[in-house]
């Protein structure tokens, strides 16, 4: 059944004064409605199950589901392919896309388009969830994207953007994909308010992507945590990294990152809160590190980073490094392991705090020695090392540690 109704009667998106609304239901074809529609038209899809064998949208239309209609890819097809600017896809339930080892099949794929909006959809058991290819100024918001792949080989990424600019990834829920959110060659974009959890590899993974902001997201219980690599001008603000645990897991890995900001985040119950390698001019400030194995691992390849005004609470080890050369600044942090004093009562410790313990350096190279942790001999060695440093980097210290926890 197909009916044509003036758009003014339905008070929907007024693309053009002459735009029409097409209603698809029963055994009708969504693709036929798209083919008949003019740019600026609206297509309403009524409740039901639709087998479109690959729906192609090649003109500017508003495709909206009523009562969550289902588009089924039959485990063979890419469900929706968007190849026009200004398309809106909303309120659909997409399931069972095809799976391929050589072709990036997705639930919804945007090809070389701009100003596309994908919002309020549910995607279940798709290979890639939403894939944006060489596109710009698109909004992907309020979608729920779930996979059930047993490993990262049989699943693509939940939201995947390649060679894009000015993207907005907002308030999505992504779980059980390879990577929850993946950026490569993506610039000037915003990832905000998303929940990415229980993914087979990374909750967030991006490479060669500059001047992007990641704000207010939750990354929980991902196999390897979050990875930010080979980029500059990155802002990571107010996120929560929690329960990312395992031999190679971390809250966030920063590799070859420069001129970036890590501020106001919470790192809780991760194997490592932050792992930094080859980073330069990164400012880590006003974060809370609590109950991690290692709060921070900073490799000797890092330089000119500033770690200031952070809280370190209940971590097994505060800081670990793999060398004695110190090219980074620790300043005005609160360390719950600090045992110094404040004779002038200005809130700042009168003696420096050395956050790298001898045992942390040994455990970094020989993880098996953790079985001796909390033994009397280990405690004695650590105390001795603080008085007469021998293997810990003497210059890795906070000269002005706070006596009380910071209110962040």
State whether residue 329 is helix, strand or coil: strand
In a domain, 39, yes or no: no
240-242 and 272-277 as β-strands: parallel, antiparallel, unpaired? unpaired
108 with 250, same domain: the answer is: yes
Q: Residue 356 — very low, low, confident or very high, per pLDDT cuts 50/70/90?
A: confident
The residue with tokens 């802002």 is: 235
151 with 140, same domain: the answer is: yes
Select the more confidently predicted residue: 339 or 122: 122
Dihedral pair phi/psi, residue 278, rounded to 5°:
70, 25
Structural contact between residues 315 and 287, judged by C-beta atoms closer than 8 angstroms: no
Q: Does 375 have pLDDT greater than 70?
A: no
Which of these ranges, 203-207, 326-330, 338-342, 384-388, has the smallest mean pLDDT?
Answer: 384-388
From CA 12, how far away is CA 22, in angstroms rounded? 12
Supply angle C-alpha 162, 163, 167, rounded to 5: 85
Tell me what pLDDT residue 237 has: 98
276 with 220, same domain: the answer is: yes
378 with 230, same domain: the answer is: no
Select the more confidently predicted residue: 17 or 44: 44
Q: Does 372 have pLDDT greater than 70?
A: no
Which of these ranges, 3-17, 68-82, 130-144, 323-337, has the smallest mean pLDDT?
Answer: 3-17
Tell me what pLDDT residue 396 has: 86
Q: Does 164 have pLDDT greater than 70?
A: yes
Q: Does 11 have pLDDT greater than 70?
A: no
Tell me what pLDDT residue 2 has: 43
388 with 325, same domain: the answer is: no
**Average confidence (pLDDT) over 40-68:** 97
Please compute, for residue 289, the number of CA atoms within 13 A of its CA located in the half-sphere on the CB side.
34
Tell me what pLDDT residue 5 has: 46
Which of these ranges, 160-174, 287-301, 335-349, 381-395, has the smallest mean pLDDT?
Answer: 381-395
**Average confidence (pLDDT) over 273-297:** 97
165 with 213, same domain: the answer is: yes
Number of domains within the chain:
2
Q: b/e string for 57-74 if b means 16 or more Cβ within 10 A? A: bebbbbbbbeeebbbbbe
Q: Work out the mean pLDDT of the chain and round it to a whole number.
A: 89
Structural contact between residues 149 and 174, judged by C-beta atoms closer than 8 angstroms: no
Q: Which domain holds residue 151?
A: 52-357
Structural contact between residues 276 and 283, judged by C-beta atoms closer than 8 angstroms: no
Q: Does 51 have pLDDT greater than 70?
A: yes
Q: Does 369 have pLDDT greater than 70?
A: no
Structural contact between residues 177 and 143, judged by C-beta atoms closer than 8 angstroms: no
Q: Residue 6 — very low, low, confident or very high, per pLDDT cuts 50/70/90?
A: very low
CATH number of the domain where residue 123 is located: 2.160.20.10
Model confidence, pTM: 0.89
Q: What is the pLDDT of residues 224-249, one digit of tens each?
A: 999 999 999 999 999 999 999 988 89
In a domain, 29, yes or no: no
In a domain, 37, yes or no: no
Q: Does 119 have pLDDT greater than 60?
A: yes
Tell me what pLDDT residue 1 has: 42
Tell me what pLDDT residue 362 has: 54
Which of these ranges, 20-29, 104-113, 116-125, 355-364, has the smallest mean pLDDT?
Answer: 355-364
Tell me what pLDDT residue 16 has: 44
Q: b/e string for 112-150 if b means 16 or more Cβ within 10 A? A: ebbbbbbbbbbbbbbbbbbbbbebbbbbbbebbbbbebe
Q: Residue 326 — very low, low, confident or very high, per pLDDT cuts 50/70/90?
A: confident
362 with 315, same domain: the answer is: no
Q: Does 399 have pLDDT greater than 90?
A: yes
Beta bridge partners of 225: 202, 250
Q: Which residues, 6+ apart, have CB-to-CB distance to 396 below 8 Å?
A: 319, 321, 326, 328, 330, 354, 355, 356
Tell me what pLDDT residue 9 has: 42
**Average confidence (pLDDT) over 361-387:** 55
89 with 217, same domain: the answer is: yes
In a domain, 42, yes or no: no
- Helix (H) and strand (E) counts in the chain: 4, 39
162 with 253, same domain: the answer is: yes
């Amino acid at each position: 059944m197909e009916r044509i109704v003036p758009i003014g009667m339905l008070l929907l998106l007024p693309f053009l004064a002459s735009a029409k609304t097409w209603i698809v239901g029963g055994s009708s074809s969504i693709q036929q409605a798209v083919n008949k529609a003019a740019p600026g038209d609206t297509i309403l899809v009524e409740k039901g199950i639709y087998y479109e064998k690959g729906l192609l949208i090649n003109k500017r239309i508003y495709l909206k589901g009523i009562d969550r209609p289902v588009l089924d890819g039959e485990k063979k097809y890419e469900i929706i392919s968007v190849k026009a600017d200004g398309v809106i896809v909303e309120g659909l339930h997409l399931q069972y896309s095809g799976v391929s080892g050589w072709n990036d099949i997705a639930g919804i794929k945007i090809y070389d388009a701009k100003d596309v909006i994908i919002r309020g959809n549910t995607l279940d058991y798709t290979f890639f969830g939403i894939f944006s290819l060489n596109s710009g100024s698109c909004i992907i918001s309020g979608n729920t994207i779930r996979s059930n792949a047993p490993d990262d080989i049989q699943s693509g990424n939940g939201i995947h953007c390649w060679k894009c600019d000015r993207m907005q990834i907002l308030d999505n829920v992504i779980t059980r994909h390879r990577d929850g959110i993946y950026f490569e060659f993506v610039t000037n974009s915003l990832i905000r308010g998303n929940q990415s959890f229980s993914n087979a590899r990374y909750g967030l993974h991006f490479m060669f992507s500059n001047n992007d902001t990641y704000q207010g997201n939750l990354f929980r219980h991902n196999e390897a945590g979050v990875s930010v690599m080979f980029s500059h001008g990155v802002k990571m603000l107010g996120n929560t990294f929690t329960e990312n645990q395992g031999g190679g897991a971390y809250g966030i890995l920063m590799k070859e990152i420069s001129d970036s900001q890590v501020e106001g985040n919470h790192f809780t119950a991760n194997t490592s809160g932050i792992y930094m390698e080859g980073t330069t001019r990164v400012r880590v400030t006003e974060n809370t590190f609590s109950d991690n194995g290692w709060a921070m691992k900073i490799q000797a390849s890092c330089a000119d980073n500033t770690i200031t005004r952070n809280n370190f609470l209940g971590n097994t080890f505060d800081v670990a490094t793999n060398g004695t050369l110190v090219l980074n600044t620790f300043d005005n942090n609160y360390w719950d392991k600090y045992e110094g004093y404040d004779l002038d009562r200005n809130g700042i410790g009168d003696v420096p705090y050395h956050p790298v313990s001898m045992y942390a350096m040994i455990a970094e190279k020989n993880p098996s020695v953790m079985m001796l942790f909390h033994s009397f001999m280990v405690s004695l060695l650590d105390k001795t090392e603080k008085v007469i440093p021998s293997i810990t980097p003497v210059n890795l210290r906070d000269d002005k540690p706070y006596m009380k926890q910071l209110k962040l």
